[in-house]
Amino acid sequence: MLMQRFKEGDPRALARTITLLESGQDFPEELLSLHHTAQVIGITGSPGSGKSTLTDQIIQELRSQGKTVAVIAVDPSSPFTGGAILGDRIRMARHTLDSGVFIRSLASRGALGGVSGKTLQVLRAIEAFGFDVILIETVGVGQSEVDIASIADHTVLVLTPNQGDAVQAFKAGVMEIADVFVVNKSDLPGADRVVRELHATLTLGGMLEWMPPAVKTSAQKGQGIPELLKALQDHREHLGAEGLRQRRLNRLRFELRVLLEDWAHDKLRDAENLLPEVLSGKRSLQSLFDSLF
């Protein structure tokens, strides 16, 4: 019944399916046959850099092109950004009555705000439902920005004309995740300087196969959005069918790793209770380990 309504495109059936996935139910195998593929765009960057405002503008632009859009906001239930969900609801509120738009907030994984296995299942469900584009917003603190690059077809790193942000991007491992840089809040002074610094740093790195463009936007004023979408389209063309296939394999590899880590985490917790037996010489650590499987 639920799956039937899902296949008929009832958004309430999608919402219900997601709730079931979040409560730990397995992914309905029946949906695997739907074979829909969405364009998956990850949007990450420092807290308050304007990701949600930008997402709202991207939705608007894609809707004007007739595309359907889903948004997954990975809620960092971390001390960095209290109240993010409420803020997101307000910033994207104008789309809530549009049936071509679906917005969902999901909890992050672990203290570092990484992307959870459940989020990946929800992503798959949303994809199966048939949205053209899926935007995933994660706050670029800790693990989530690295995770998002393993999941998305395209990763957008949002910077602002603010010294701290640029420095943050230049830290090893962060720069590399960006397929496209956005310098948002370009209505404020300093955006051109950040763009120049990005270019200089990227050029220093030698010839890259794909030189990530830096697009200036003002999400607040709705400026630079078509340019951003053009840059994403360019990246898609650069990837081509084989590049996209590699990204999808990456996502599956990541998902498998998350499943294994969660499993290991549970096993570790169980086994810890038995460590006193090992300490007192009742059994060996090896036999405890073997009993886990």
Ligand X SMILES: Nc1nc2c(ncn2[C@@H]2O[C@H](COP(=O)(O)OP(=O)(O)OP(=O)(O)O)[C@@H](O)[C@H]2O)c(=O)[nH]1
Of the candidate residues 17, 39, 44, 52, the single one contacting ligand X (CB under 6 A): 52
48 binds ligand X (CB under 6 A): yes
CB of 144 to ligand X, least distance (A): 11
Residue 50's binding partner among ligand X, Mg ion, none (Cβ under 5 to 8 angstroms by kind) is ligand X
Of the candidate residues 52, 78, 144, 217, the single one contacting Mg ion (CB under 5 A): 52
139 binds ligand X (CB under 6 A): yes
CB of 112 to ligand X, least distance (A): 15
Full DSSP string of the chain: -HHHHHHTT-HHHHHHHHHHHHTTPPP-GGGGGG----EEEEEEESTTSSHHHHHHHHHHHHHHTT--EEEEEEE--SGGGTTHHHHHHHHTGGGTT-TTEEEEEEE-BTTTTBPPHHHHHHHHHHHHHT-SEEEEEEE-STTHHHHHHHH-SEEEEEE-SSHHHHHHHHSTTTGGG-SEEEE--TTSTTHHHHHHHHHHHHHHT---SS---EEE-BTTTTBSHHHHHHHHHHHHHHHHHHHHHHHHHHHHHHHHHHHHHHHHHHHHHHHHTTHHHHHTTSS-HHHHHHTT-
Of the candidate residues 3, 12, 47, 64, the single one contacting ligand X (CB under 6 A): 47
Residue 53's binding partner among ligand X, Mg ion, none (Cβ under 5 to 8 angstroms by kind) is ligand X
- Pick the closer one to ligand X by CB: 17 or 45: 45
Per-residue tokens: 199: 């270019």
53 binds Mg ion (CB under 5 A): no
51 binds ligand X (CB under 6 A): yes
49 binds ligand X (CB under 6 A): yes
Angle, CA 245 vertex, CA 243 and CA 246 arms, to 5°: 65
Site string for ligand X, 141-170 (x = CB under 6 A): ------------------------------
Number of residues interacting with ligand X: please give it, by CB under 6 A: 19
Site for ligand X in 213-272 (CB under 6 A): 218-220
86 binds ligand X (CB under 6 A): no
Query: Of all residues in this chain, which one has the CB nearest to ligand X in the complex?
Result: 50
Of the candidate residues 91, 95, 109, 251, the single one contacting ligand X (CB under 6 A): 91
Interface residue list for ligand X (CB under 6 A): 47-53, 81, 84, 87, 91, 139, 184-185, 187-188, 218-220
